[in-house]
Structure 1
Amino acid sequence: MASYQELMAQAQALFAQAEDTRKTEMAAVVADIKAKMKEHGITVADLGGAGTGKRVGSKSKSTAPAKYRGPNGELWAGGPGRKPEWVRELLASGKSVEEFRI
């Protein structure tokens, strides 16, 4: 049976591999979307975005500076209300959000 350290090393290697695959796939999807937008003359404004860099349909209205940075670069101001999914996952796994304070 593998030791805890061996399993954690395997898990981290798989996570890194999954992240690399996600980035590669996302780049291909973005390139395809851009090509189709160009082909059909579609702009970001046509999609309902203002070109501000925010995702279309984003609910966040916070202007507070981020206090926490998640394991994948996610930001959170730590305000009242529902915690982001990555924070809930950290807390469920027994970690403290203070470990991720900026």
Structure 2
Amino acid sequence: MSQYIELKAQIAKLQEQAEEARRTELEAVLVDIRRKIVEYGLTAQDLGLTVVRRGRPPKKEPLPPVYQDPKSGNTWSGRGKPPKWIVGKSRERFLINQEHS
């Protein structure tokens, strides 16, 4: 058997031994950490851990209206698909007076 193949076999055996040692020591480390967390009343924030929230992000506040239909009183922020009442018309005449804001 070549020296290279023997060394690769030794590496694989040592990696297995290292992983087994890690698994053995890990339980004792976790027990010690949990004990200290309880003893000192530590929180995830104290440990610098962030809480990952899953699911949908919180909804954003709606944008203030920029345009208003004088007939119906409907408004539009100017973002997204324009409503039917403003399509094909000059938007300037639908502008809401923004001086009060």
TM-score bin, normalised by smaller chain: 0.3 to 0.5
| TM-score calculated relative to the size of structure 2 | 0.43
Larger Rg: 2
